[in-house]
Structure 1
Amino acid sequence: MRKIRVLVVDDSAFMRKIITDILNEEEKIEVIGTARNGQDAIKKVELLNPDVVTMDIEMPIMDGIEGLKVIMDQFPRPVIMLSSTTTQGAENTIKSLQYGAIDFIAKPSGAISLDLYKVKEEIIEKVILAKSANVHKLSKEVNRKNIHLKEIGYSKIDSNRDKSPIIIDRNSLNKKIVCIGTSTGGPRALQQVLSKIPADIDAPILIVQHMPPGFTQSLANRLDSISFITVKEAENGEHLQNGIAYIAPGGSHLKVMKSGGYLTIKIDQSDIRNGHRPSVDVMFESISKLQDYRKISVIMTGMGSDGTEGLRKLKLTGVVNAIVESEQTSVVYGMPRSALSTNLVDKVEHLENIAAAIMDFIRN
């Protein structure tokens, strides 16, 4: 079997060696070269034609983001970013995902992580996954916010003026709630979907994106900047409001509870579910307990099967419209495929059509 050929890019000789040693321990992987910065990486990608690139973000001469832009434009292939968990590092990581990086790995202790072995299994797993990813579906940075607002003469600030907490109506199913689960390739998919949702959507949106602590605030900020709706990192105890998307904080589960006549967010660090916290299953299961709500569930790109069992419980306990992303547009088709195998899915949609499908279910 042909090995996965990897180019390792980092300005630190120590980090290049430790990453190379970690990857070469896996019999399915072969490191075929290293590079010291983005400029060097571009040359090596053209010369060596690696299957996968691991790329540090902070480097001299040309940083990882600039190098990534050129690689995805001229020699598109799976790129995994290595990032620090500082505020700036998190912002740059989210930016790199918008430019086409398939995934990222958080360095345990900064730029020179002597303890990189702590994430050894994650590095190997993500490189193996990257080889089979649908890299040609990764989109570049697109910011349509200003165009949209100008075209329809619309102010996002004005749209938030009348938002108020949702009061539970036990006598009807007029109230709706949208819940979205995604993993690898998710930030780019969420950008496509949320930027097309109108500000007056008559439902709150709850989102689980598999991500470690320290990155979801930057993801929420980025998505908020390109969306008509408000997008924020969910906070424990806040009441749900229509027209707001709440993203589960990295490393924490997101649940919805009934409290004092309102729907209230609960954030906790209860047990990891199937390797994930936050978990789509956990979020879906909590929403399944809302008997008086119509639910729209969405499962998009990602590895594994998170969300499948939660979908089963949703479908057993109320009126649910289930959407999954198509294989053609998924970067990784694991989660959508698993959900589809339940025969409980109502619509399979290409990524660019998911927002419209959500709104169809909301309005009809």
Structure 2
Amino acid sequence: MSNFRVLVVDDSPFMRKVFSDFIAADPAFEVIGTASDGVEAVERTLQLEPDVITMDLEMPHMNGLQALRKIMALRPTPVIMISAVTDNGTRDTIKALQYGALDFIRKPDGAVKLDIRKVGEQLLEKLHIAVEMVKSGNFHLLYAIGDGEEEERGPAFGRTPSPADEAGKAPRAPAASASASAPSRLPSPAPKPLQPEPQQPAAPSPELTKPAPPSADAQPAEAGAQAPARSRGLPPPGPLAKLPPARRARPPAPADGLPDARGALGLPDKDGAAPATAKPAAAAKPQAAQEGAGREARPARPGRTDFTDIVVIGTSTGGPRALHEVLSALPESFPAPILIVQHMPPKFTRSLAQRLDTYSALSVREAQDGEPVVAGTAYIAPGGRHMALKRESAGRYRIALSDEPPYSGHKPSVDWLFESVLGMKELRRHAVLMTGMGSDGAKGMKALRDDGAVMTIAEAEQTCVVYGMPRSAVELGAATHVLRLQQIAPVLVQEVRERN
């Protein structure tokens, strides 16, 4: 069995050597090449066809974000970002996750050798996760989110459709995952866009009915099958377009043996001359990007404290992209607060909240201990702290943060959040589990369903980057609805807004 092939991208010769040595020491991986900047990373990706890429964020000539976007446009490949824990580093990391990166690790500061060793171990762990997900078929590469940087940073290749764009149109299918029986080399996704699915209504049926709770001897849902917990009020999704199993054909190589990627990408040639081909026109900027790009997160604004509904959301790998899809589709008048746990280290959750706030009509903020909870605001648990909903005697609610040890293997924990709203039957509770590895949240969602929660939604396999946490919820009988990512916001709006 051949090893998984890794391309290491970093502008520091020292860090390229360190990461290459760590990766090469693991018999499961082979370092097939390195690159010192984004331009070289794109060229070597097309030439060498790696299975996984490690990508530094800050590099000369073309940074990691720009290289990531071009790679995901030309030859989508699992990418693990190497991020500095700085304000710019955390912001760019969140962008990278929305642009299609699988995950990230924090870059060592170079002062302490133990830090470098720890980072190397984390990198190997992420690499193993990446290849295991692709081999198992539980991994999907998503189209990247476009934004206002497209015109400055190169060709655009997609943006998040607005609700108006999606009216009467079925959601676009993600790239197909690898087969569980695939060989050790990871298959390349096809370069051309998928064909749209057969048309289906964008909005759910006016009547959403819940399936009966599963019996004790109910069988777990099979992967890829229509789960019995699917909403009866929504049409089943159409078939996914199939991708050919063959690798993408390599572009003709010039005399030096490297693919001539520079001209096709709108990059200058090696002598600095402008490319002969015209740069593709950038797509129109999303309205949210035009109105809010570059601003800081909005301050907390007055909102209803006498709400009757509460939404709790949990997600992990692929979560920033999924949260963008859901929160950007909710209206400013959404009459319920939203509490969110995204598995992420400290400092990064604040950048995530600021990024999502830019694109959402709701106010999105990193939660603070003791702050009042109001409708129309989304609260993201800070990295490294558990978040719970706390009821006060006056019938108001506040955020409660905790430094207790990890729960269900995570801190913050989705189970911790979900279980905090058990017993609050004066509220109509709605729980959502989206893409992520493992099972955090499934136990709490099952407890909520048994406690009378109105809706417990698991994201469907077809749109999950990693079908782990939602699968656990479905197999446990915790989900009353199984919905594609694009269906989650409309269903929440209908169930919460119309009831109010």
| Same-fold status (TM-score > 0.5) | yes
Partner of 1:139: 144
Alignment of 1:209-288 (within 5 A): 209-261=342-394, 262-288=396-422
What is the CA distance between 1:139 and its match in structure 2? 2.3
Partner of 1:78: 78
Instruction: Say if 2:312 and 2:338, in contact at 8 Å, map to a contact too.
Output: yes
Note the residue ranges of structure 2 that are not aligned, 5 or more in a row: 147-158, 163-284, 291-296
Q: Which has the larger radius of gyration?
A: 2
Instruction: Say if 1:7 and 1:32, in contact at 8 Å, map to a contact too.
Output: yes
Note the residue ranges of structure 1 that are not aligned, 5 or more in a row: 151-156, 168-174
Q: 1:184 aligns with which of 305, 310, 317?
A: 317
Aligned residue for 1:136, secondary structure, equals coil
Q: Kindly report the root-mean-square deviation, in angstroms, between the aligned alpha carbons of the 2 structures.
A: 2.4
Instruction: Say if 1:84 and 1:111, in contact at 8 Å, map to a contact too.
Output: no
Distance, in Å, in 1 between the alignment partners of 2:301 and 2:411 is 33
Alignment partner of 1:96 is 2:236: no
Aligned residue for 1:219, secondary structure, equals helix
Cα distance change on mapping 1:333 and 1:62 into 2, 3 Å: same
Alignment of 1:20-99 (within 5 A): 20-99=20-99
Q: Write out per-residue CA displacement over residues 95-142 of structure 1, whole angstroms, 9 at most, x where no aligned residue.
A: 111211111111243799772211333212211222335343242334
1:139 partner amino acid: A
Partner of 2:13: 13
TM-score (norm 2): 0.66
Cα distance change on mapping 1:256 and 1:349 into 2, 3 Å: same
Distance, in Å, in 1 between the alignment partners of 2:20 and 2:491 is 44
1:13 partner amino acid: P
Distance, in Å, in 2 between the alignment partners of 1:56 and 1:276 is 26
Which deviates further from its counterpart, 309-318 or 9-18? 309-318
Distance, in Å, in 2 between the alignment partners of 1:138 and 1:146 is 15
Distance, in Å, in 1 between the alignment partners of 2:483 and 2:462 is 9
Distance, in Å, in 1 between the alignment partners of 2:467 and 2:111 is 32
Instruction: Say if 1:23 and 1:30, in contact at 8 Å, map to a contact too.
Output: yes
What is the CA distance between 1:3 and its match in structure 2? 2.3
Instruction: Say if 1:4 and 1:128, in contact at 8 Å, map to a contact too.
Output: no
What is the CA distance between 1:275 and its match in structure 2? 2.5
Distance, in Å, in 2 between the alignment partners of 1:267 and 1:50 is 42
Distance, in Å, in 2 between the alignment partners of 1:30 and 1:41 is 17
Which deviates further from its counterpart, 69-78 or 130-139? 130-139
What is the CA distance between 1:46 and its match in structure 2? 0.8
2:415 partner amino acid: D
What is the CA distance between 1:196 and its match in structure 2? 0.3
Instruction: Say if 2:289 and 2:359, in contact at 8 Å, map to a contact too.
Output: no
What is the CA distance between 1:26 and its match in structure 2? 2.4
Partner of 1:208: 341
What is the CA distance between 1:222 and its match in structure 2? 0.7
Partner of 1:304: 438
Cα distance change on mapping 1:86 and 1:149 into 2, 3 Å: closer
Aligned residue for 1:137, secondary structure, equals coil
2:391 partner amino acid: K
What is the CA distance between 1:69 and its match in structure 2? 1.1
Distance, in Å, in 2 between the alignment partners of 1:319 and 1:189 is 22
Distance, in Å, in 2 between the alignment partners of 1:148 and 1:106 is 29
Instruction: Say if 2:431 and 2:457, in contact at 8 Å, map to a contact too.
Output: yes
Partner of 1:153: none
Aligned residue for 1:184, secondary structure, equals coil
Instruction: Say if 1:257 and 1:286, in contact at 8 Å, map to a contact too.
Output: yes
Partner of 1:171: none
Aligned residues: 351
Percent of matched pairs sharing the same residue:
47
Partner of 2:303: 163
Q: Write out per-residue CA displacement over residues 242-301 of structure 1, whole angstroms, 9 at most, x where no aligned residue.
A: 000000001111111112421110111111123311110110011123232111111010
2:141 partner amino acid: H
Distance, in Å, in 1 between the alignment partners of 2:23 and 2:93 is 22
Which deviates further from its counterpart, 229-238 or 273-282? 273-282
Cα distance change on mapping 1:218 and 1:148 into 2, 3 Å: closer
Instruction: Say if 2:289 and 2:358, in contact at 8 Å, map to a contact too.
Output: no
Instruction: Say if 1:91 and 1:218, in contact at 8 Å, map to a contact too.
Output: yes
The structure richer in helix per residue is 1
TM-score (norm 1): 0.90
Alignment partner of 1:347 is 2:487: no
Distance, in Å, in 2 between the alignment partners of 1:325 and 1:113 is 41
The structure richer in strand per residue is 1
1:136 partner amino acid: L
Alignment partner of 1:290 is 2:451: no
